[in-house]
Structure 1
Amino acid sequence: MLKLTHSFLVLLFLGNNLFAADASKPNILLIVADDLGWKDVGWHGGSFYTPVMDKLVKEGVELDGHYVQPVCSPTRTALLSGRFTSRFGPHVLSPTNLRAFPPGTITLATALKQAGYSTHMAGKWHLGSKLEWGPQNYGFDHSYGSLNGAVDPWNHKYRKGPYEDTWHRNGKRIDE
């Protein structure tokens, strides 16, 4: 049995034509949640109450064949690129804030954009802390959130240092 210890991934193809911009292309919602065990959700028989997510999985498709890493950046790198994390260098295998993808890397977002989808990323990017390493440069039309991991939920700041202020919207730093 596939063991997912720190993350779970759910890929949902929501084919409801009421919400799809184009009936021939289903809506796609990809949720990546860190630090979550396999049985920490209702649909895997866990004791936690997760009715909304249970419904999304029931009506969509669950991606359960992706191997996760002990920290989030390598998991995100592999998921978005379709490549082994180690191919991007050793910094991706640790929880750093360095650039994960070389310029020009084709990502899932790039492929979806080429297929005519509008792509959006919200939340923690943690694949590079500079704006030029952010989601806008890897296929996302719109993005909102932190370029770093472990951001304070109240002030949106990362720990003191060169990457303290990484809250962004669409490729521009913001202060909220």
Structure 2
Amino acid sequence: MLHFSEDPTITRFVPHVAPTARQPEAYVWAVDYLRAPDYWFPRNCPRALAWTLPTSTPADRERILGPGGGERVHAIEYRWVAEFLSVELFAYRFPADHFVPFGEPTPSAVVSVEPVEPLGPPELVGDLLALHQAAGIQLRILDNLWGFWEDVAASTLGFSGIRLSNAADRPTPLDS
């Protein structure tokens, strides 16, 4: 289990209710290897993520991922690029036996209701752009995430939006 942070000095993770939490329970949050790329970003960076599922239609794959687009795309806004390229992000490793899956219908994270100590010191994640490239994940830079987000959320692809409250304002429709 992994937890990503810009703080390399944490020695014990204590359950808490995050300011952005949608549930009242206190947790220590982590993800497995498959969901780790969701967190290859500065903590507060808004991002829209999409990936293919066995049930994704060819039309949605083409429309969202594009021709030759691989299996996954992450989108951020231009105003976050400098921080994305310069952030020092660290990965903490946790023992799996402290965590249970969280999220319906498909878990998107794992949580612990008890304090957790990392298995060792955190590791510097490194070049986030290179990580995306090595993992075959498209990285899109957009003026505004909302149009992309709405397309993804209405598609047959898997998707996740993280820190969307930090995204630029939704564009207003043009007066007709």
Same fold, judged at TM 0.5 (above) = no
TM-score (norm 1): 0.25
TM-score normalised per structure 2: 0.25
**Structure holding more strand per residue:** 2
Which structure has more relative contact order (CA 8 Å, sep 6+)? It is 2
